[in-house]
A = this chain, B = another copy of it.
Amino acid sequence: MNQIPPTMKALVLQDNPEARIELKTNYPTPTLKAGQALIKLKTAALNHRDQWCREGMYPGLRYPSILGSDGCGTVVAVADEADQHWVGKDVLMNPNVNWGDNPAFQSLNYSILGMPTDGTFAEYLALPAHRLHEKPAYLSDEAAAAIPLAALTAYRAVFTKGLAANGSKVLVTGIGGGVAQFAFQLAQAAGAKVYVTSGSDEKLDQMRQAGAAGAVNYKDPQWVKTLIKAEPMGFHTIIDSAGGDAFGELAKMLAQGGTMVVYGTTAGKPSGIHLPRLFFSQASITGSTMGNDQEFVDMLAFMAKHQIQPLVSSVRPLDDIVSAFDEMDQGRQFGKLVIRISE
């Protein structure tokens, strides 16, 4: 451990209205507690959650905290002899903190890596060794960092909650989002016929090239008719993170026994849910967030089996990380915003 410097660069969330996030250059390097591993980070990736923390729009904000839920790095030290085999290995970190014993839902003291516990936007990170997974060999450092939070959320939404399978008709709304992109890739790899929506024709074109069965602009007044015409028997699985006025229209597009999985609410409260349609169709609306530890294992295995390559929008150095937050805020990127921390 003698090469580990006492201070490091870290992107810190702080209670300062002038600079709610700041890249500190001499933040204390974490020291190991029992059961922990110390990781020298190579890459990290942003999630919308990071920007929401910056905006003060996330519950339970704690200052100061190092943000960042996703990362890829090398284990440089461990506290316990039993974890020695990790040292020198390239790893991903499961971002769940205290999911708990019930696979159906997280425990009351659950949190996500990167606020309140210190996260991946730093040169070093200490966390329990049981959070470590070997970096998938088929992926670059940049692609690996893009996976954890978004792919875990997508995996639970698509399979555990949405029950998508080979032959399912699946609709993923707002395909510009990180979770939505993984949802598309996972469902497609499972053999589903996957449709997507977006407000951007450019993103829709890209999705057609990526094999989407249909790609519809939700700003087109005909978007509902277009989707109903494409799949008159409805969708078995709809993955939505918007809610709002479109929610009721989506619910009407559910097939008999179908499930709409909702994991976000960027368009506000849903309206217009037609209950008779829901019960005559034996259909469900189910909330989903993140995924349990077994789902993290299963997701990594599924990604590797199907050699799924995460979409990376851009890679920039840690020194420029604040600009990645700004880009996340504008929402124009298509693919993950990746940060290169060390080689």
Q: How far is the CB of A101 from chain B (nearest CB, A)?
A: 12
Q: Are B256 and A105 in contact, with the CB atoms below 8 A?
A: yes
Interface string of A273-289 (1 = CB under 8 A from B): 11111111111111111
Chain B residues with Cβ below 8 Å from A283 are 286-287
Q: Are B105 and A257 in contact, with the CB atoms below 8 A?
A: yes
Tell me which residues from 230 to 286 in chain A have a Cβ below 8 Å from any Cβ of chain B.
243, 256-257, 262-265, 269-286
- Is A102 in contact with chain B by the CB < 8 A criterion? yes
- Is A333 in contact with chain B by the CB < 8 A criterion? no
Q: How far is the CB of A154 from chain B (nearest CB, A)?
A: 13
Q: How many residues of A contact B (CB 8 A)?
A: 32
Within the complex, which residue of B243, B257, B275, B282 is in contact with A269, where a contact is CB–CB below 8 Å? B275
- Is A106 in contact with chain B by the CB < 8 A criterion? yes
* Residue of chain B at shortest CB distance from A274: B269
Q: Are A278 and B256 in contact, with the CB atoms below 8 A?
A: no
- Is A104 in contact with chain B by the CB < 8 A criterion? yes
The listed residue with most B CB atoms (<10 A of its CB), out of A263, A272, A275, A287, is A275
Tell me which residues from 280 to 300 in chain A have a Cβ below 8 Å from any Cβ of chain B.
280-289
Tell me which residues from 68 to 106 in chain A have a Cβ below 8 Å from any Cβ of chain B.
102, 104-106
Q: Are B289 and A286 in contact, with the CB atoms below 8 A?
A: no
Q: How far is the CB of A111 from chain B (nearest CB, A)?
A: 12
Chain B residues with Cβ below 8 Å from A264 are 275, 279
Which residues of A are at the interface with B, using a C-beta cutoff of 8 A? Answer: 102, 104-106, 243, 256-257, 262-265, 269-289
